[in-house]
Amino acid sequence: MNNLQFVPTKDNSLTIFNPELNETYHSIHGAITESKHVFIKNGLQYFFENNNSSSIRVLEIGFGTGLNALLSYLFCIDQQKSLHYISYEPFPLSSEIVKQINYPQQLNGSIDDENFFLKLHSEKNNSYTSSNFLIDIKVVESHYQQSSISGKSDIIFFDAFAPNKQPEMWLPEVFSKCYNELNNSGILVTYCAKGEVKRTLKSVGFKVETLPGPPGKREMIRAIKP
């Protein structure tokens, strides 16, 4: 995790370039734009529009910069929904890197939102409570494959690096584990829409939907557990 570099994206939010993988954490066409489209619009928002529920359980594979967690936190505050969120990240970013990420400011977040974002990276277990809903976000410094999760999830945010950069994350056994950890009618969303990924998801039991992708990508995947 040495020599990480900040890269501005087209919506003025930053992403991080990892020279060891020759890969960025988010799309250069817009880090915030991509995460909102893939994980919020086609994940959280889709779930609440199709389920009469006041709460949601999210499992994230690849915490990375924490952008998806921050957007989920802000979305659920706005919608007054309870959020139970667990994310796996074996290679957390340093506090020096995190302090330079501009997501809370780009999202016009408050000082409290910015502090919550910073705490996600440092304390790993944080909650926000109001009179009628709870937001609980936990970050686990571990590989997802080695995890043992209690409790089913409604949505999986699959945000590992691309298959050609991190092939061990896109194997049938990983997606089978995801399938087993979802509630019935649960969904998995990912930015990747490669044919091999669709075939693997189908092989473990998912119904695969190909959706329009964010700027710079033609397609994305939403996979549903029947």
Lowest-pLDDT choice from 78-92, 123-137, 170-184:
123-137
Tell me what pLDDT residue 166 has: 95
Residue 23 in domain: no
Q: Does 205 fall in a domain? A: yes
Residues 6+ apart with CB under 8 A from 94: 1
Q: Find residue 6's DSSP bridge partners.
A: 16
pLDDT at 148: 79
Residue 13 in domain: no
Give domain status of residue 218, yes or no: yes
Number of domains in the chain: 1
In a domain, 4, yes or no: no
Query: Is residue 40 assigned to a domain?
Result: yes
**Which tens digits make up the pLDDT trace of 73-84?**
999 999 999 999
- Chain mean pLDDT for the chain: 94
- Sequence-separated (6 or more) residues with CB below 8 Å from residue 125: 137, 138, 139
User: Residue 168: pLDDT band by 50, 70, 90 thresholds?
Assistant: very high
186 has a pLDDT exceeding 80: yes
Tens digits of residue pLDDT in 188-223: 999 999 999 999 999 999 999 999 999 999 999 999
Please state the rounded mean pLDDT for residues 143-170. Answer: 91
- Residue 2 domain-assigned? no
* Domain enclosing residue 203, as ranges: 32-224
Question: 27 lies in a domain?
Answer: no
Q: Are 160 and 169 within 8 A, CB to CB? A: yes
Higher pLDDT, 126 or 63: 63
Q: Which two structure tokens, joined as six digits, stand for 205?
A: 């039991």
C-alpha span between 84 and 107 (Å, rounded): 22
Dist CA 124 CA 145 (whole Å): 19
Task: Determine if residue 29 is left, alpha or beta; phi over 0 gives left, psi from -120 to 50 gives alpha, anything else beta.
Answer: alpha
What was the pLDDT predicted at 87? 95
Least confident of 105-114, 171-180, 191-200, 213-222: 105-114
Distance CA 162, CA 170 (A): 9
Cα pseudo-dihedral 36, 19, 146, 38, rounded to 10: 10
Q: Decide if 71 contacts 178 (C-beta within 8 A).
A: no
In this predicted structure, what is the pLDDT of residue 1? Answer: 56
- pLDDT tens for residues 15-33? 999 999 999 999 999 999 9
Q: 128 vs 202, which has greater pLDDT? A: 202
Residue 146: CATH number of its domain: 3.40.50.150
What is the pLDDT at residue 45?
Answer: 97
Torsional sign, CA 73, 26, 107, 125: positive
**Is 92 exposed, middle or buried (CB count within 10 Å of its CB: 0-12, 13-18, 19+)?**
middle
pLDDT at position 131, please?
Answer: 81
